[in-house]
Amino acid sequence: MTLDPSSDWFPVWSQDGSRIFFASARTGTQTIFEKAGVAPEEVFLDNVLVGGVATYPHDVSQDGQFLLYQQSTSRGYDLGVIPLSGDRKPIAFVSGPSNEVQGRFSPNHRWIAYASDESGKFEVYVRPFPPQSTRPTTISVAGGMQPEWRRDGKELFYISADGKLTTVPVVTSEATFTAGTPRALFDVAVPEPTAPYPTDYAVTADGQRFLVNTVVDQPRRPALTVILNWTSALIR
């Protein structure tokens, strides 16, 4: 699809499958491009509109009206939304002193799931869209990232901090959202999360099959041993 020497990543399909949005540093900073069919790639989001910072596409709403994206800040990452038609003026979705990453529209495009480390570790949250000044609903338990929706909006998936692909039954109406108890499905060996936090799996519309970016023979981190009261072992 792309042949530029720069790295192209974070690919996102348009809802009708006619376009792909992706991030590339070919302009000097991570910028959102779009490619329609065999046409040349074009810049979709001019970084000047978001302060010249790095941007990465995340998801397109089911109605094809909005693109959800991630942008870098001096504190980490925030989430924003940009209309796919009209003046394409970016809209801030969630920002703050923490990292907000991996945003995904619910199938009825009234809710957005994302990962944030606002608690001190990454957890999965859900907020209404358009954005409101309400507290998010916490989805994960004891850590989680990489949320994905089942196509009918009745299930939300994420990867737990202990490496398990986890499912949560959810109910998404126009005005209310409720979540059930998370349940682990199976273990996954995905790369350790590092900025800018790409997603390592995809799920089919019925939630029955998963495509997982699996790490083979990932090297172990070197252990660090700390000895307390070591002076007591010295020969006097």
In the chain, where the domains are located:
8-233
Work out the pLDDT band at 221, boundaries 50, 70, 90: low
Q: How do residues 152-162 score in pLDDT, each as one tens digit?
A: 999 999 999 99
Who's near 40: CB < 8 A, 6+ residues apart?
A: none
For 133-146, b/e burial (b = at least 16 CB within 10 A) is eeebbebbeebbbb
CATH topology classification for 8-233:
Neuraminidase (2.120.10)
Q: What was the pLDDT predicted at 119? A: 94
Q: How do residues 19-69 score in pLDDT, each as one tens digit?
A: 999 999 998 899 999 999 888 999 998 777 777 889 999 999 999 999 999
Strand ranges inside 5-88, DSSP E = 8-13, 19-24, 31-36, 42-45, 55-60, 66-72, 77-83
Is the Cβ–Cβ distance between 105 and 156 less than 8 Å? no
Q: What was the pLDDT predicted at 171? A: 94
Portion of the chain with pLDDT greater than 70, in percent: 97
Two tokens, residue 131:
């954005």
Work out the pLDDT band at 219, boundaries 50, 70, 90: low
